[in-house]
Every structure is written in structure tokens, then in C-alpha cells.
Amino acid sequence: MATIMAHHKTSIAFLTALGAATLLGGCADRDKFPSLARRPAEDVYRAARTTPPAPPPPAVLTRGIEAKLAGLLGDAREAHRAFEAARPTASRAAAAARGAAKGTENWSVASVAIAKLEAARSRVGLPLAELDRMEAEASNRAVDGSDADFKAVMATRQQVEAIAAGETEVIDSLLSQLGR
């Protein structure tokens, strides 16, 4: 048992000395250590490693895309003219059916007129679907090159969406008159 106690005291003394040496090492003179400030050589190395960014590709539209977009916008405007031609009939029928019970003659006539208006609105969806496809293709091309096609498609798409949104507002207004 005496041997174990002696060994235990030796271990405690060793650990105490090690702890004191560690603490005193933290109090060393700071002037003897090198500075951690950036050295001029590091700046030169960093400048040599960075490559300048590649210049952006020229903004060039794909051949024929302007004509295609103009055609789709023209189709949407043509569909809107058909919508506007059917609008007065639907508006008069909805006004005549205001407050009428479902299934009455006026309500049925107004429902059919609004359905014709909805069919006219659906024609705007065709150019919009083609613009969706073109948008996907243009966004893929923009990843590796010019985004001119993407911007042109999005500008046309916004115009067609505005037409569709306006028509939807008209139809929703007429439907609210019927109590739907």
C-alpha cells in the first residue's frame, strides 16, 4: 500500500509541475513570436492565383426569335380582339341575369354567354404555352451564353400575361354578377 501511495504522490507532483509549466508558457514574452500580419509575399501569391472574370458574352438574339415573339404577341392580341367582340353580349346577359335564380332563362343565357367569353380567353393560353416552352429553352441558353433571348421572351410573356389577367378580371366580374 505504501508503494501505491508513493506512486500516487509522484503522479500528483508530476501533473502539478506539468500544469505549472503550461501556465508559465502562456506568459512568455510576446516579442519573441513572429507576427501573424499578412506578408507582402502573400499578397503577390494571392494576386497571381486569382484570374480575372471572363467578359460577359455579347447580348445577341437567336436568329428568328424576334419574329416568333412578334407572332405570338400578335396571336394573343388577335385572341383578345375575339374576347372583346364577345364581351358586350356577355355583359348584357350578366346584367339581365343579376339576382336571377340558378336555372332560370336569364341565368342560363348569361352562363352560356360567359362560357363563350371563357372560350375566347382560352385562345390566349396557346401563345402563353409556347412562351413557356421558349422561356425554358432561353433560360438554358442563358446559363452558358447571352441572356438576350431570355429577356426578350420574358418581356413578351409579361405582355401576354397582362392580356390574360385582364380577361380573367372581366370574367370574374361577370360571374360574380351571377352569384357564382
Instruction: Report the pLDDT value the prediction gives residue 55, as an integer from 0 to 100.
Output: 67
Query: Which range is least confidently modeled, 19-28, 37-46, 170-179?
Result: 19-28
Q: Does residue 62 surpass a pLDDT of 60?
A: yes
The average pLDDT across 50-74 equals 82
The average pLDDT across 111-138 equals 94
Instruction: Report the pLDDT value the prediction gives residue 6, as an integer from 0 to 100.
Output: 54
Q: Does residue 25 surpass a pLDDT of 60?
A: no
Instruction: Report the pLDDT value the prediction gives residue 15, as an integer from 0 to 100.
Output: 63
Confidence (pTM): 0.65
Q: Buried b vs exposed e over 131-169: b needs ≥16 C-beta within 10 Å?
A: beebbeebeeebeeebbbbbebbbebbebbeebbeebee
Q: Does residue 19 surpass a pLDDT of 80?
A: no
Query: Which range is least confidently modeled, 24-28, 38-42, 43-47?
Result: 24-28
Q: What is the pLDDT of residues 73-123, one digit of tens each?
A: 999 999 999 999 999 999 999 999 888 888 889 899 999 999 999 999 999
- Alpha carbon dihedral 117, 123, 127, 133, in 10-degree steps, equals 110
Instruction: Report the pLDDT value the prediction gives residue 99, as an integer from 0 to 100.
Output: 83
What CA–CA distance (Å, rounded) separates 83 from 91? 12
Report whether 124 contacts 160 (CB < 8 A): yes
